[in-house]
C-alpha cells in the first residue's frame, strides 16, 4: 500500500476517462425535471438515472446519477456534456461509439457501460416527448 499514485486508472482507462470519473460533470438531480429516465444494465446489474430539463426543444439542463464502474460513471458524465445545449433530435443521434471515442476508447469488456449512457439519454428524451404529446 504505497501512497504513490498509479497512472491511468488500474492500467485500463485513459486520462480523459479518469478525469470524468474523478470530476464528473453534471452529476446530481434536477428537482423540477421534465423527464427522468432509469436504465438498468442487464450485463452487470448497474443502473443510471438521467434528469432532463427541456426548453424550446433544447436540452437546457441535464443531470445524472450512476451506480456502476468507472467507465459507466465517466460515460454518463461525458454523454451529458455532449448533449447539453443540443436539440432533442441532435441528442438522439449520439451513439455509444461516440461516447466511447470521446473518452479515449474503452476496453472491450466496458463497451456496454457506454451503451447504458446512450440508452439513458434516449429514454429520457422519449419520455419527455410522450409527456408533451399528451398535453
Catalytic center residues? 44, 113
Our finding on whether 114 is near ligand FES (CB under 6 A) is: no
Our finding on whether 31 is near other proteins (CB under 8 A) is: no
49 binds, among other proteins, ligand FES, none (CB under 5 to 8 A by kind): other proteins
User: How many residues touch other proteins (CB under 8 A)?
Assistant: 31
Exposure string for 59-80, b = 16+ CB within 10 A, e = fewer: bebbbbbbebbbbbbbbbbbbb
Our finding on whether 41 is near ligand FES (CB under 6 A) is: yes
Strand 47-55 vs strand 58-67: parallel, antiparallel, or unpaired? antiparallel
The helix (run of H) or strand (run of E) holding residue 126 is helix 111-134
- 78-97 residues in contact with other proteins (CB under 8 A) are none
- Which segments of the chain are extended strands (E)? 35-40, 47-55, 58-67
CA end-to-end span of the chain? 58
User: Burial, 91: exposed, middle or buried (Cβ in 10 Å; 0-12, 13-18, 19+)?
Assistant: buried
Among residues 72, 83, 94, 124, which is the contact residue for ligand FES, using CB under 6 A? 72
Among residues 16, 27, 58, 111, which is the contact residue for other proteins, using CB under 8 A? 27
Binding site for other proteins (CB under 8 A): 1-6, 9-10, 13, 18, 21-22, 24, 27, 38, 43-49, 65-70, 72-73, 109
Q: Would you tell me which residues interact with ligand FES (CB under 6 A)?
A: 41, 44, 46, 68-69, 71-72, 110, 113
Amino acid at each position: 500500500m504505497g501512497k504513490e499514485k498509479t497512472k491511468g486508472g488500474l492500467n485500463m482507462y485513459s486520462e480523459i476517462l479518469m478525469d470524468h470519473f474523478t470530476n464528473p460533470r453534471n452529476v446530481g438531480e434536477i428537482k423540477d425535471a421534465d423527464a427522468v429516465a432509469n436504465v438498468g444494465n442487464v450485463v452487470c446489474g448497474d443502473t443510471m438515472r438521467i434528469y432532463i430539463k427541456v426548453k424550446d426543444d433544447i436540452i437546457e439542463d441535464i443531470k445524472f446519477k450512476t451506480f456502476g464502474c468507472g467507465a459507466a460513471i465517466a460515460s454518463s458524465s461525458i454523454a451529458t456534456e455532449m448533449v447539453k445545449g443540443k436539440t432533442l433530435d441532435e441528442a438522439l443521434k449520439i451513439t455509444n461509439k461516440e461516447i466511447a471515442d470521446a473518452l479515449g476508447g474503452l476496453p472491450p469488456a466496458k463497451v456496454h457501460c457506454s451503451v447504458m449512457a446512450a440508452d439513458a439519454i434516449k429514454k429520457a428524451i422519449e419520455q419527455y416527448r410522450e409527456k408533451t404529446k399528451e398535453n
